[in-house]
Structure 1
Amino acid sequence: MSTTRYDILHVRVIAEDAETLRALLRDARPDVGGRPSQGEDGRVSIDAYVPSDQVSALEREGVHLEEIENASEAGRRAQAEVGVGDRFAPDDACPRGLAEKVKD
């Protein structure tokens, strides 16, 4: 899991049984998304969002972590698609209030 220090990771926490998952959630208190689900093999999983420097707090016997994505990096990619300026303001619009119209 190569990440920047403060990145938030979207991980799937998979525990051998419900009690192991409950203990992990009680102890580590990660930010979970959705409800736990049980697989056909009896293992229980839940998605969580965890700072990259706190992933080790979730690792313990009976628990497996799968990194789904680096949520911070996905956010940075989405932000890069956003334009700058006010695309709805015409070029000849007069500013209102205590503003000064400047060219970008």
Structure 2
Amino acid sequence: MSTPRYDILRVRVTAEDAETLRTLLREVHPDVGGHPTRGADGRCSIDTYVPSDQVAVLEREGVTVEKVGNASEAGRLAQAQVGTGDRFAAESARPRGLAVKVKD
């Protein structure tokens, strides 16, 4: 049985006022990125990271949720740039000490 895969999304949560945002954060406990900001119109925003299947939990009266990016996809793209093996050890290098050199 496989577990469904949910991406972690970066979403900007904007509330009508600071108290609405504080209430949301106390109730839902999302992972937040950075500090809240207040716009010229008095609305408060903060970026949060939530599984894609839980974005709807953040939506409520007085709150808007805007998808900023897909953090999981950004991580997968960064990991794809990482090579395999030990780029500092030559293939002909002999192990030292009690180690045994094995091939991946």
- TM > 0.5: yes
2:57 is aligned to: 57
> What amino acid maps onto 2:82 in structure 1?
V
The within-5 A match list for 1:9-88 is: 9-88=9-88
Per the TM alignment, residue 98 of structure 1 is displaced from its structure 2 partner at its CA by 4.4
- Answer yes or no: is the 8 Å Cα contact 1:59–1:65 preserved in 2: yes
What are the within-5 Å matches in structure 2 for residues 82-97 of structure 1?
Answer: 82-96=82-96, 97=98
Correspondence for 2:100: 99
Q: CA deviation at 1:17?
A: 0.6
Q: What percentage of residue pairs aligned between the two structures are identical?
A: 67
Q: How many residues align?
A: 100
Q: With the length of structure 2 as denominator, give the TM-score of the two structures.
A: 0.88
Query: Are the counterparts in 2 of residues 9 and 69 from structure 1 also a CA contact under 8 Å?
Result: yes
- RMSD value, Cα: 1.5
Q: Which sections of structure 2, spanning at least 5 residues, go unmatched?
A: none
Provide TM-score, normalisation by structure 1.
Answer: 0.88
User: Contact (CA 8 Å) 1:9, 1:70: kept in 2 or not?
Assistant: yes
In the alignment, structure 1 segments of 5+ residues that lack a partner are none
What is the CA–CA distance in structure 2 between the aligned matches of 1:61 and 1:101, rounded to whole Å? 59
The amino acid that maps onto 2:36 is P
Runs of 4+ in structure 1 over 3 Å off: none
